[in-house]
Amino acid sequence: MLRLSELRLPLDHPADALPAAIARRLGIAADDLLSVNVFKRSYDARKSHSLSFIYIVDVETRNETALLKKFADDLHVKPTPDMEYHFVGKAPAHVANRPLVIGFGPCGIFAALILAQMGFRPIVLERGKAVRERTQDTWGLWRKNTLNPESNVQFGEGGAGTFSDGKLYSQIKDPKHYGRKVLTEFVKAGAPAEILYVSKPHIGTFRLVGMVETMRAEICALGGEIHFQQRVTDILIEDGHVRGVKTASGDEFHSNHVVLALGHSARDTFEMLHERGVFMEAKPFSVGFRIEHPQSLIDKARLGPHAGHPLLGAADYKLVHHAANGRAVYSFCMCPGGTVVAATSEPNRVVTNGMSQYSRNERNANAGIVVGITPEDFPGTGPLAGIELQRQLESRAFELGGGTYEAPAQLVGDFLQGRPSAKLGSVEPSYKPGVRLGDLATALPDYAIAAIREAIPAFDRQIKGFNLPDAVLTGVETRTSSPLRITRGEDFQSLNVKGLYPAGEGAGYAGGILSAGVDGIRVAEAVATDLLKPV
């Protein structure tokens, strides 16, 4: 097959326009084009007055050898690369030492799925509940101000990505096309087929719930086991090699291969691993607020006269500003047509995140507006110092919100002028259990407040109306990524504990559903390769 790129067609082109454009591009007759598969469809929003779709397609034609010779110097006509997933091996008939996977978020799901598909019958331990029970507990915080510390936005089947926009794109380098494997498995589990070709695929919370259950069922059908409400409280290490784990229920699970697919909020587990001497180090992350605008404002600014077009959907954005004080401010986890959600996992703390459904049809757009911080900013030293800063900021947000899990909030106009907000304007905040208006100046360190105040007017030069006085800031966003890294070597194992495989967001090796899934595949391959070594 041939892969053609940079094929441009008008936004409202008819279905037969694409095959005709391909035939013209290759200079062949229409009946010489045997099949067409859209690999990627995107659009460039920088020229909103003249939007067009940009296609990458895989085509089957007659005389492909002659066409490749004809277009040998054309970068946009090449052989279609092999993007099929290839397993590193198959398990023997009887696996004496089954691998353990700790955590069942995107990373843990794909680590377990790949190991199961290779025949290694993994055992998964998840501290939270199955996804539907977990959803009920999460709604308990949003609707009744009642937090379950073991079952919430952060903990439970599906991980934190279940209550998000469900973004399925990443900027990671992926030469082996593991991302394609992730997307293919999602489609098999019930995701819409369009995630395989749209430029910024997403799923949304409700669809993720059913997909996670389907993937769990496949792992179990292949001989794997999933144990819920099994919080790991200790790790068994003997002569520098992992031998298993203990859980809060008193159970012990023995294995020489343990995948640590922890989320970025598994603070008690990080503390336990640190006490046991597992090597880890502090790493940078970001803190800030959620900002909400009318989605119609973002659509108009980004898509111009094409705002509301059904094939384009709700518009998104990605913004960066380098402030005068040396801090980088950027938009994080932008959720078109979504809501701001309560995302704490610890009592008496407030954390925000963003979430969208597949339809993205809520009235507001929201995004994190966050400031980069480094270990030099943390209170104290050591690998756990970033967690202490997060806890300080989250506790302060709880206090500013009135101590009821309501979140502190402020109108953008008041924030920029340095005055407290007393009443809402035209933008109704979506955060549940609710917001308490006031002054956010003490919710973050002074350098972060100064950088955000400088960034918002700068962002308005890119998106007209971004500094809308009635737009709402809600605090705080602290869990943008893990505040530490459980460092691993080239064999994907811990630097000082053999058989321990740190993976995904919590270990500092991913950021988002797709990259976490990819890392789960890479680590599963490393585990399988070690298990398949001759004894």
CB 61 within 8 A of CB 67: yes
Instruction: Output the pLDDT for position 464.
Output: 96
User: Around 488, how many Cα atoms within 13 Å sit in the side-chain half-sphere?
Assistant: 21
Give the DSSP per-residue string, 45-88. Answer: TTSGGG-EEEEEEEEEETTHHHHHHHTTT-TTEEEPP------S
Residue 120: DSSP 8-state:
-
What is the distance between the alpha carbons of residues 531 and 79, in angstroms, rounded to a whole number? 36
What is the distance between the alpha carbons of residues 4 and 41, in angstroms, rounded to a whole number? 12
Q: Kindly report the number of other CB atoms within 10 A of residue 250's CB atom.
A: 7
User: Around 312, how many Cα atoms within 13 Å sit in the side-chain half-sphere?
Assistant: 25
- Tens-digit pLDDT string for the chain (535 aa): 999 999 999 999 999 999 999 999 999 999 999 999 999 999 876 766 678 999 999 999 999 999 999 999 999 999 999 999 999 999 998 888 899 999 999 999 999 999 999 999 999 999 999 999 999 999 999 999 999 999 999 999 999 988 888 889 888 888 899 999 999 999 999 999 999 999 889 887 778 889 999 999 999 999 999 999 999 999 999 999 999 999 999 999 999 999 999 999 999 999 999 999 999 999 999 999 999 999 999 999 999 999 999 889 999 999 999 999 999 999 999 999 999 999 999 999 999 999 998 889 999 999 999 999 999 999 999 999 999 999 999 999 999 999 999 999 999 999 999 999 999 999 999 999 999 999 999 999 999 999 999 999 999 999 999 999 999 999 999 999 999 999 999 999 999 999 999 999 999 999 999 999 999 999 999 999 999 998 7
What is the distance between the alpha carbons of residues 9 and 4, in angstroms, rounded to a whole number? 14
CB 452 within 8 A of CB 369: yes
> What are the chain's domains?
2-79 (3.30.70.2700), 100-280+486-531 (3.50.50.60), 282-477 (no CATH)
Instruction: Output the pLDDT for position 19.
Output: 97
CB 440 within 8 A of CB 289: yes
Query: From start to end of 174-284, where are the E strands?
Result: 225-228, 232-238, 241-247, 252-254, 258-260, 281-282
What is the distance between the alpha carbons of residues 388 and 385, in angstroms, rounded to a whole number? 5
Look up the pTM and report it. Answer: 0.95
